[in-house]
Chains A and B, each alone.
Chain A
Amino acid sequence: MMRTRFCVFIFAVLFLCAGKLFGYSLSKDEVVKTFATANENHLEAVKFIAEKNLQEANKKLEEAALQYEMIISKGFRNGRVYYNLGNTYYRLGEVGKAILNYRKAQRLMPRNAELDANLRLAKNSIEDKEVYHETPAVIQRVLFWFFLMNQNEIITLSVSLYIIVMVLFIALIILKYQWLKRVIIGFSVGLLIAVVSLGIKIYVEQGTDRGVIITKKCPVRYGPGEEYETKYEIHEGVECIVEQVKGKWYKVYVHVGIKQEDALQSDTDKKEDKEIRRGWLHKDNLGVI
């Protein structure tokens, strides 16, 4: 009786897993096909640019962008797709959308040097001298796992450490080796750090909404509506943090920096001043990362 029940359970699990794997492989094939076509369009566009045939290049780039967007709209999230889409928008002259997609890609591929280089280049080409609140390099090196791993990787790391700690506990209970206690303490500290890092990562990526201005010029107003006067203007590519949402309006703040000469210092010594500017902007102007 017990054996029959066990066999039915195993078959049910296998059936469910097989169904899931089968369904996933189909959508993956579509994705791979669309991705490859989009890549071909992009590469052809690059050739057209080299031949100075900008009209054809733009056409191909728009096609490629549409295909990448389609892959993403199907719920397929991959750093390469976002990176390639960012490149496509950059070549189309839409720096805001390019930065937006590079930032999305960065969350999935935090260790990719090519992505960092392209993002830096795109950021340098924006009109506003905006200072994004980057973490200092020293902290990035000390807390390297936080900056080099994406959310899923930190989850996997945390679960792995958890399993190791549990196995060590089981070994301690059965084998009663006292030295295992020290090993357990070491791995538990690692697990604690991983879990705290995961919490912070989730808060940073999902707790606060960050966005990029995707229109050429964006008026930031005193209130949520066209009837409010423009407070200041920001331009494409500026990154901001969304504080509040009201209807079709976002309340955002941006870090704006400006190089200032210090009268007492030499010309080479320039200090970077930062200012937080708040205001309301229409949803159409902002792409949320």
Chain B
Amino acid sequence: MKKHIGIFGFLALLIIILGSREKAYSQEISLISTVDKKIVTLDDKLTLTLTVHGTQDVSQPTFPEIEGFNVLYGPQISAQTRIINGQVSVSKGYIYVLRPVTKGKHTIGPSTMEYKGKRYTSSPIIVEVVESTPSSGTKSFDLDKLVFVELKTDNEEPYLYEQVILYFKLYFQKGLPIADIDYTAPATKNFMEEKLGDQIQYEEVRDGIIYNVLELRTAVFPIVSGELTISPAKLKCNLIVQEERNRRVSPRDDFFGDSFFDDFFGRGQRKYPVERITNPVLLKIKPLPEYGRPEEFKGAVGNFNMEASIKTSRVKVGDPITLSVSVYGEGNIQTINEPELVFNNKDDFKVYPAESTTQITNREEVIRGRKVFSKVIEPQKTELKSIPAIVFSYFDPRENRYKTITKDPIPITVESWEQEIPIQLTLSQEKLPASQQQVRLLTQDILPIMTGISSLKNHGYPVYKNPFLIGGLFLPAIILITSFFVVRHKDRLQTDIGYARNRRAHSVANRRLGMAQSALSGDSSSEFYACLSRGITEYLADKFNIPAASASGDRVSVLLRNKGVPVDVIEDVTRCLSDFDYRRFSSDTGTKDEMEHSLNIAEQLITKLEKQL
């Protein structure tokens, strides 16, 4: 018994699997004949493919009548099974490689086959055979046919705000390897746009050639009427060409290995950049008709429906009720305006502005979504039995007319507060419960104007333009920097002997020269020259921070040379020092004029040295 059950189960499973296979394969049978190019030269080869779609269990289709071509080899048979999104598709191809024999336009006749008693015929194809030329004119023409792009819309005369689907299609010949696709979307000024789904890929036969098609879709909504242009889309990509082709296995390899690509790309794998631009798309946007436009219409265009609900139906006077109104359907969801409440009396409810949330629920084929308006209303009377009816109007472009959806009033129960609050005539400082704050205070008014003019100043005058403020910014900084340097100078004078001697050298030398001047008037020549000699020697000793006794002629020369003092000045110093010492200790004191001259020389020398050191 168990064995029977097992066999029965296995059979049932088999039936289910086969049934599902049959269902999955249940696609339309067709025979399609395609070629790899429509214009060939006498040196080229033509690949003819007879493809049976929908089944692989089929006899070979008849070879079509072909003039002007010889069959090089074939058929090579290829079988394909594809599963895309659960959809299984099968096909079987018979590939022939033909060589053109004569020039002119030749027709590849229809091919036929029989399947389950039914006869299927392919369409004829016209192929032009031209003379082979060394130039690449024909070849570039072929390249244009290999890859091309299109930009189209599903409606060329839409209404204002109507949803229009914009298709961008990239066609590239089947089997052609392309990479690095760079797509520049068209500029859609005066349109709102929403991206539709992911890119889709499929095959399409055009003029007997199979193309792979890459399709991008966008929903656009014109926001102004009149003639609008969608600017061209641009696509850049690279064709990948293989270099090494020692053995030509398939007709496709043959195609890529032929002289055309060899000439174009040379040998080796390389990328050949291709750029394609679509034509612009011209749309004539019709304005929305005036006739039959309802008062409630606020610009929604599409096909919509509406739902409404409230969270609480039993409330007290002044309590908030959150009304949720959902408008959903097909069209531009973002621009749906708030549906209107039809009040019998405007004082019945206190109404707050609505808050809205937008959700796109489907963006596969067209834009579908939902916009939910949350609105707070507060009933003001106990007599109210329902919230107002809700009205939403939109324009349906398919039916070319306005439509209005009306939601019936939703019943509510409004209760009064247990205790009436007397109207207050004065502002109360007591904290009232939140529910009682709606009591109107009759004395509530703005506080009076300010009449005092005593302190009426122009506060518009920017304070940063005030000179005292600018002074306040700069003066302390200047004082700070000055005091820093002064204090540092004083500190160094006290702590750094070299610095102190250096700073005082000039004044000490001047004092010595003054003493010399006194000695000159007192007729004491030896004292005069002693003052001059000491003046210069002590000056140099102070400047170089050395003992005065060490400031002899040779050492001074070396020190001055190290400081970069000019040679003539050094010579003057040496000469003066030896001259003054000579006159100081000899009887040859010179005349009074000579002494004055010596004093002047000493003064000039110290001035020169002060500049140099």
- Which A residues form the contact surface with B (CB < 8 A)? 24, 28, 31-32, 35-36, 39, 42-43, 46, 75-80, 83-84, 87-88, 90-91, 108, 114, 117-118, 121-122, 128-129, 150, 152, 155-156, 159, 162-163, 166-167, 169-170, 173-174, 222-223, 227-232, 256, 258-261, 263, 267-268, 270, 273, 275
The distance from the CB of A101 to the nearest CB of chain B, in whole angstroms, is 12
CA distance A260 to B373 in the complex (A): 12
Stretch binding the partner chain, chosen from B254-262, B447-455, B605-613: B447-455
Is residue B200 within 8 Å, beta carbon to beta carbon, of the partner chain? no
B429 on interface, CB distance cutoff 8 Å = no
A117 to B480, CA, bound (A): 48
Contact A79 B459 (CB under 8 A): yes
Asked, given contacts A155-B469, A261-B322, whether A169 binds B480 with beta carbons under 8 Å apart, the answer is: yes
Residue from B312, B445, B459 with most neighbouring chain A CB atoms (10 Å): B459
- Measured CB to CB, the nearest residue on chain A to B488 is A173
CB-CB nearest in chain A for B453 = A32
29 A–B contacts, CB within 8 A, in A order: A32-B456, A42-B449, A43-B449, A76-B460, A78-B458, A79-B459, A84-B450, A117-B446, A121-B446, A129-B353, A150-B459, A152-B459, A156-B463, A156-B469, A162-B476, A163-B472, A173-B484, A223-B223, A227-B224, A230-B298, A232-B353, A256-B355, A258-B353, A258-B374, A259-B320, A260-B322, A261-B321, A263-B311, A268-B434
Q: With A83-B450, A258-B352 as known contacts, state yes or no: A78 contacts B457, CB within 8 Å.
A: yes
- State whether A87 and B462 are in contact (beta carbons under 8 Å apart), knowing that A80-B456, A228-B223, A259-B376 are contacts in the complex: no
B84 within 8 A of A: no
Q: What is the predominant secondary structure among interface residues of chain B facing chain A?
A: loop
- Is B479 in contact with chain A by the CB < 8 A criterion? yes
| B320 and A273 contacting across the interface, CB-CB below 8 Å | no
Q: Which residues of B contact A223 (CB under 8 A)?
A: 223
Given the complex, which residues of B lie within 8 Å of A258, measured CB to CB? 352-355, 374-376
Residue in contact with A170 in the complex, picked from B444, B450, B479, CB distance below 8 Å: B479
Interchain CB contact under 8 A, A39 and B355: no
Query: For residue A24, which residues in chain B have a CB less than 8 angstroms away from its CB?
Result: 458
* Cβ contact within 8 Å between A114 and B451: no
In the assembled complex, the Cα of A267 lies from the Cα of B335 at a distance in Å of 33
Q: A35-B456, A222-B335, A228-B223 are known contacts; what are 8 more A-B pairs with Cβ within 8 Å? A: A32-B456, A87-B448, A87-B449, A121-B445, A122-B446, A232-B338, A232-B353, A260-B374
Q: Which residue of B lies closest to A124 (CB)?
A: B444
In the bound assembly, the distance between CA atoms of A114 and B451 in angstroms comes to: 13
A173/B446 in contact, CB under 8 A: no
User: Within the complex, which residue of A77, A128, A155 is in contact with B464, where a contact is CB–CB below 8 Å?
Assistant: A155
For B304-345 the 0/1 string (1 means CB < 8 A from A) is 000000011000000111100000000000010110000000
Shortest Cβ distance from residue A193 to the other chain B in the assembled complex, whole angstroms? 18
Q: Is the interface of A mostly helix, strand, loop or mixed?
A: helix
Q: Is B20 part of the contact surface with A, judged by Cβ < 8 Å?
A: no
Residues of the A chain whose Cβ atoms lie less than 8 Å from the Cβ of B461: 77
- Please report the C-alpha to C-alpha distance between residue A39 and residue B449 in the assembled complex, in whole angstroms: 8
Chain A contacts for B338, CB-based, 8 A: 232
- Are B449 and A275 within 8 A (Cβ)? no
Interface string of B105-122 (1 = CB under 8 A from A): 000000000000000000
A22 vs B351: C-alpha distance when bound (angstroms)? 58
| Chain A CB within 8 A of B558 CB | no
Does B473 make an interface contact (CB < 8 A)? yes
Contacts of A169 in B (CB 8 A): 480
B335 CB contacts on chain A under 8 angstroms: 222, 229, 231
Give which listed residue, A78, A256, A270, A273, contacts B459 with CB less than 8 A: A78
- Shortest A288–chain B CB gap in Å is 15
Hey, which chain B residues are within 8 Å of A222, CB to CB? 192, 223, 335
Q: How far is the CA of A90 from the CA of B448 in the complex (A)?
A: 11
With the chains together, A174 CA to B487 CA distance in Å? Answer: 7
A78 to B449, CA, bound (A): 13
Nearest CB of chain B from residue A75's CB, rounded to whole Å: 6
Query: Which of B322, B446, B458, B487 meets A118, CB within 8 Å?
Result: B446
Chain A nearest CB: distance from B479 CB in Å? Answer: 6
In the assembled complex, the CB of B309 is this many whole angstroms from the nearest CB of chain A, namely 12
Name the A residues within 8 Å of B444 (CB-CB): 121
Closest 8 CB pairs of A and B: A77-B460, A166-B476, A152-B463, A84-B449, A80-B450, A114-B447, A118-B446, A258-B355
Which residues on A sit within 8 Å (CB–CB) of B484?
173
CA–CA, A209 to B560, complex, Å?
70
CB <8 Å contact, B355 and A273:
yes
A4 to B464, CA, bound (A): 32
Q: Return chain B residues, CB-CB under 8 Å to A260.
A: 322, 355, 374, 376
What CA separation (Å) do A170 and B477 show in the bound complex?
A: 9
User: What B residues does A155 contact at CB under 8 A?
Assistant: 463-464, 469
Indicate if the CB atoms of A166 and B446 lie closer than 8 Å. Answer: no
Contact A166 B450 (CB under 8 A): no
* Beta-carbon contacts under 8 Å, B362-387 to A: 374-376
Please name all residues of chain A whose beta carbon is closer than 8 Å to the beta carbon of B464 when the two chains form the complex: 155
A248 to B447, CA, bound (A): 36
* Cα separation A223 to B192 with both chains bound (whole Å): 11
Against A, the Cβ 8 Å flags (1 = close, 0 = not) of B478-490 are 0110011001000
CB distance from B269 to the nearest CB of A (A): 50
The residue of chain A having its C-beta at the shortest distance from the C-beta of B226 within the complex is A227
Best-surrounded residue of B337, B353, B461, B487 (most CB of chain A within 10 A): B353
Residues of A close to B448: CB separation below 8 A: 46, 87
Q: Is B299 an interface residue (CB 8 A)?
A: yes
Contacts of A114 in B (CB 8 A): 447, 450
Q: Is the CB of B451 within 8 A of A256?
A: no
List chain B residues, Cβ under 8 A from A46.
Answer: 448
A167 touches B376 (CB 8 A): no
Enumerate chain B residues within 8 angstroms of A76, measured Cβ to Cβ: 458, 460
Residues in chain A near residue B479, CB distance under 8 A: 166, 170
- Which residues of A are found within 8 Å of B353, using beta-carbon distances? 128-129, 232, 256, 258
With contacts A84-B450, A152-B459 taken as known, whether A173 is within 8 angstroms of B480 at the C-beta atoms is yes
Residues of B within 8 Å of A170, CB to CB, are: 476, 479-480, 483
A119's nearest neighbour on chain B, judged by CB, is B446
Q: How far is the CA of A61 from the CA of B8 in the complex (A)?
A: 100
